[in-house]
Structure 1
Amino acid sequence: MDLTTSLNFSLSITGPICVVLILGIVLKRLGLLPDSFTEAAAKLVFQVTLPALLFLSIVRTDLDAMPSPWLIAYGLAGTLIGFLVLELLAARFIGDRRLRGIFVQGSFRGNMGIIGLAYVQNAYGQAGLGGAAFFVGAVTVLYNILAVITLTRSLGGDPGLKPIIKGIIKNPLILAILAALPFTIFGVQMPQLVLTTGSYFANLTLPLALLCTGASLSLKALRGGAALTGYATLARLCAIPFLLTLGGWFIGFTPLELGILFLVSSTPTAAASYVMTRAMGGDSVLAANIIATTTLGSLVSTSLGAALMNYLGLMG
């Protein structure tokens, strides 16, 4: 495939996201996206519009066209292995114990629910979004468990197993996916009124979430911890997506599956990592640094990676 065509393809994935993120920054400076609005909108996305998007994506997906369930199993295994490797590296090379969990979480915990789904939607439309929804839901559960484990080991405390299980059971994204499964498996048709109303909420998700992400970015927070921030950024944006995609290619996943795997694994660090770090009394500045650098860096690394994969015919 022509290199120019591949570059245009990659820009069609990341370009709109970059524009909306920049708009979020500009609107914040103009006073149109105050902190109170951003905080309320983020809750609306997580509790209402994103679950609606995942629910409708799965309901509208043909199971015969779904990516292999082995892709989800591979994503879970790859995430767990990556987490264990990062834990070993942090214990070996990071002297300050309290920084280890923040580094590990910032490296493995990607923002798949917002930016990952946006990447997939721009690349494959509805067909890819339904398959990615299952992947995102499964890996999100593992993300939450591993994040609690690494921060607890690093910062101290013992939350116990019960709060983790309770948090997973009450997670709106997981509930939306589970609610959609019977409709997809048994072919139950949803009333058009429900589909249309749900679409109104679902269509709000990505633009609203990306605007809030842009408004929440603070380059002023980039101070101190430059080395750890750099290492976490390289792990999040380069090492993890490269190794996961390479492993998937060796296993023999289809180009569509490889594309989904690459796009959801090349996402920046999830904003929830900052919230958890701050709540547990960790270095929230380091957490914010990692989120900011990976969010901006992901636009470049994903564009280049998508262009290369498309040029090689590995993205379907």
Structure 2
Amino acid sequence: MQSITAALGPLFLLILLGAAIGYRRWPSVEFWAQMEKLIYFVLFPAMLVATLATADVSQVPVGRLTGVLLGAIAILTLLLWRLRDWLALPSPAFTSVFQGAIRFNTYVGVAGAGALHGELGVTTAAVAVAVMVPVVNVLCVASFIKAGTLGTSSLRSSVLALVKNPLILACLAGIFLNLTGIGLPGWSESAFDLLGRAALPLGLVAVGVALRPAALFRLDRGTLTTNVAKLALMPVIVLALAWAFGLDPLSRDVALLFAALPTATSAYILARQLGGDAELMAAIITGQTLLAMLTLPFWLKLVSG
């Protein structure tokens, strides 16, 4: 497990550094709120555009990778809704469990893919982001609608936010620039590359800042269900589909990595805005992020042996 832990270890250290900074509230809570916006709206989209606009996507089995990732999301989505009555969770709590099971932390995913497989790993991860982000966001908003926690005004704002999602727009822009052959002309390639390099380390620190250690003390059916679904069941589904679709080892590793990622910290904001159980969401985010430091190396080692 040495090579895998050596690749992922620095990422986890940056998250823990962020947790320490967040605990000390340094330099201020407001600073990190603004930094998260900079990362989400500028730095990470720049990285996606830089990667997708210039990448040789022909090296990535886009169709089979899409089938594996979206197939796993569809299976887990159907399973969770079939089990909703049995879980006997209030509607707000169920939406948080649902988000925790299918959302993924993009920063950790792209950084991990790059650490494990270099430039081609980042390209494959960018394709995974382009495939999964729109679908996951639509499903999460739909879960609030179906659960009955979302009012009409919130629905309008949610649809608008979905259309304006910077990650989706960045993926579309990068794919357009690639397919048209425009690429990133002149100095723009270097500028986007420099911005993109800042995205992942700052994004990982921001993940740690957003953690709430006190939320770890919440242990109930909601946290147990979503942790098992995300950190255990989703990787098993992806591995089965990767075998069925005949994915190559690198694409399989990236698909498995994204399957086993902890949920996104942005899920807390969505839960708070759309009527979910925000405190449960905070517990899920914190618990999964810390547990994934153990489960991610386990799954990757399992397929590399």
Normalising TM by the smaller chain, what interval? over 0.9
Matching residue's letter, 1:141: P
Kindly state the Cα deviation for residue 95 of structure 1 after the two structures are TM-superposed.
4.3
Whether contact under 8 Å (1:155, 1:280) holds in the other structure is: no
Of residues 86-95 and 232-241 in structure 1, the stretch that sits farther from structure 2 once superposed is 86-95
CA positional deviation for 1:144: 1.0
Q: Is the 8 A contact 1:102 1:282 kept in 2?
A: yes
CA RMSD of aligned residues (A): 2.0
Cα separation, 2, equivalents of 1:251 and 1:73: 8
After superposition, residues 42-53 of structure 1 pair within 5 angstroms as: 42-53=36-47
User: Contact conserved, 1:155 with 1:282, CA < 8 A, in 2?
Assistant: no
Matched, 1:157 2:150: yes
- Asked if 1:141 is matched to 2:154, the reply is no
1:204-231 per-position Cα deviation (integer Å, ceiling 9, x unaligned)? 1111111111111111123445332122
The equivalent of 1:76 in structure 2 is 70
AA paired with 2:188?
V
Residues 235-283 of structure 1 deviation map (CA, whole Å, 9 limit, x = unaligned): 1111101211222112211111111100111110111211111123332
TM-score by length of 1: 0.89
Native 8 Å contact 2:268 2:282 kept in 1 = yes
What residue number does 1:185 align with?
Answer: 179
> Does 1:240 find its partner at 2:234?
yes
* Structure 1 counterpart of 2:61, one-letter code: P
Deviation at 1:188, TM superposition (A): 3.2
- Who is 1:314 aligned against? none
Structure 2 residue corresponding to 1:92, chosen from 86, 103, 121? 86
**Match for 2:280 among 277, 281, 286?**
286
Q: Cα offset for 1:123?
A: 0.8
CA contact (8 A) 1:50 1:202 kept: yes
Distance 1:86 1:140 in 2: 19
So what's the TM-score if we normalise by structure 2? 0.92
Please give the alpha-carbon distance, in whole angstroms, between the structure 2 residues aligned to 1:190 and 1:105. 35
Matches within 5 A, 1:82-121: 82-111=76-105, 113-121=106-114
Equivalent residue, structure 1, for 2:222: 228
C-alpha displacement of 1:164: 4.9
Helix, strand or coil at the partner of 1:253: coil
Instruction: Tell me the number of residue pairs that the alignment of Structure 1 and Structure 2 aligns.
Output: 304
Q: Does 1:123 align with 2:116?
A: yes
User: Contact conserved, 2:227 with 2:288, CA < 8 A, in 1?
Assistant: yes
The reply on whether 1:166 has 2:160 as its aligned counterpart is: yes
CA contact (8 A) 1:244 1:261 kept: yes
**Is 2:252 the counterpart of 1:258?**
yes
Q: Residues 189 and 11 from structure 1, CA distance in 2 versus in 1: closer, same or farther, beyond 3 angstroms?
A: same
Letter of the structure 1 residue corresponding to residue 150 of structure 2: G
User: Which residue identity lines up with residue 45 of structure 1 in the other structure?
Assistant: I
| Gap regions ≥5 residues in structure 2 | none
Cα deviation per residue 1:6-56 (whole Å; 9 max; x = unaligned)?
Answer: x11211332011110111122334443421111111111110001000011
Aligned-pair identity in percent equals 25
Instruction: Find the counterpart in structure 2 of residue 9 from structure 1.
Output: 3
What amino acid does structure 1 have at the position aligned with 2:128?
Answer: F
Contact 1:33 1:215 in 2 (8 A): no
Mapped to 2, the partners of 1:164 and 1:217 lie a distance apart of: 24
Superimposed CA distance per residue, residues 76-131 of structure 1 (whole angstroms, 9 cap, x where no aligned partner): 232122111111112222243332222122112121x2111111111111112112
Structure 1 CA distance for aligned equivalents of residues 28 and 254 of structure 2: 34
CA contact (8 A) 1:45 1:205 kept: yes
Equivalent of 2:261 in 267, 273, 290? 267
Structure 2 equivalent of residue 211 of structure 1: 205
Superposed displacement of residue 155, structure 1: 4.6
* Amino acid across the alignment from 2:6: S
Q: Which stretch shifts more, 96-105 or 200-209?
A: 96-105
Q: Does structure 1 conserve the Cα–Cα contact (< 8 Å) formed by 2:94 and 2:222?
A: no
